[in-house]
Amino acid sequence: MRAFLANSINREALFIKWANINIDYIYRSGKLPTLTNVREQTGSYIFILRKTLDIWYENKKIEKPYKSRDDYKNARPQVIEVFNKLYSEKKIITLSVIAEQLHCSKQLVALYLKNTTDEMANLLLAQEVNNNSVYESWCLDFLSLRALLNNHKLRVDLFRKWVWVHIDHIYRNGGKPNYTEVHKLSGSNDRLIRETLDYWSEKLNIPITNKVHWVNITLDQVLEQVDDQLKFIPLTFLEDE
């Protein structure tokens, strides 16, 4: 229906009504309507939403989160302030969390955090993790920033180091690094763990005695190991009574 209405002569009025319905819904939910959260609900054009929001705030006699586009240019200190607060509390930092607090777009937050994210990524890579205290601190920092680092240009190196510090931690505390133990700590994917274990072993000349890891198998592979007589037993014991 929406695609059909897009070609209607009344399309702007219809989209404005659609935007107003969602603006009211967001406000009733206890949040201030913004370009970001209204557009997430409606997908409408920015210029329609901006005009509709301006009129809505004027009618409600509520101060807008930002009075004009120029205010967005002054949001950088606020973005950095919120980032620093979340980071100092070791909370998970996402663009959405900061955008929601400041009633601005995630794109704007990403723009203003770029230099800070670059700096933090380089610090994480450069920091030497050589004892348990530093290990715990580094892991908390990484987890706090992880969502911001997912699409960073240094992502591969950062996530490899994430696995590496867990391998080192196990070995430093008298354990024998293997796939299972590293996976418990890192939660990383199979390939990254195996590659990092191999590289760690080669780099430090320390053999990995147990490289057991999970692999995907098919039902056919399982049935190959089952006695032929058992293949025809009804699996009714798997059903709930």
Range of the domain at 16: 2-65
Q: Does 61 reside within a domain?
A: yes
Total-model pTM: 0.63
* pLDDT at residue 44 in the model: 63
Q: Does 26 reside within a domain?
A: yes
Look at 22-26, 138-142, 182-186, 230-234 and tell me which has the smallest mean pLDDT: 230-234
Q: Does 141 reside within a domain?
A: no
Q: Does 207 reside within a domain?
A: no
What's the full length of the chain, in residues?
A: 241
Q: Does 154 reside within a domain?
A: no
Cα–chain-centroid distance for residue 206?
34
pLDDT tens per residue, range 123-143: 999 999 999 999 999 999 999
> What sign results for the dihedral spanned by CA atoms 170, 171, 177, 182?
positive
Q: What is the DSSP letter of 67?
A: S
Look at 95-99, 116-120, 235-239 and tell me which has the smallest mean pLDDT: 235-239
pLDDT tens per residue, range 2-52: 444 455 556 678 888 888 888 888 888 888 888 778 878 777 666 778 788
Element containing residue 32 per DSSP (H, E): none
Cα–chain-centroid distance for residue 37?
18
Q: Does 193 reside within a domain?
A: no
**How many distinct structural domains can be found in the chain?**
1
Q: Does 138 reside within a domain?
A: no
pLDDT tens per residue, range 56-82: 888 888 877 654 555 566 678 889 999
* pLDDT at residue 5 in the model: 45
Structure-block tokens of residue 106: 């995630």
Spatial separation of the C-alpha atoms in residues 186 and 159, rounded to whole Å: 10
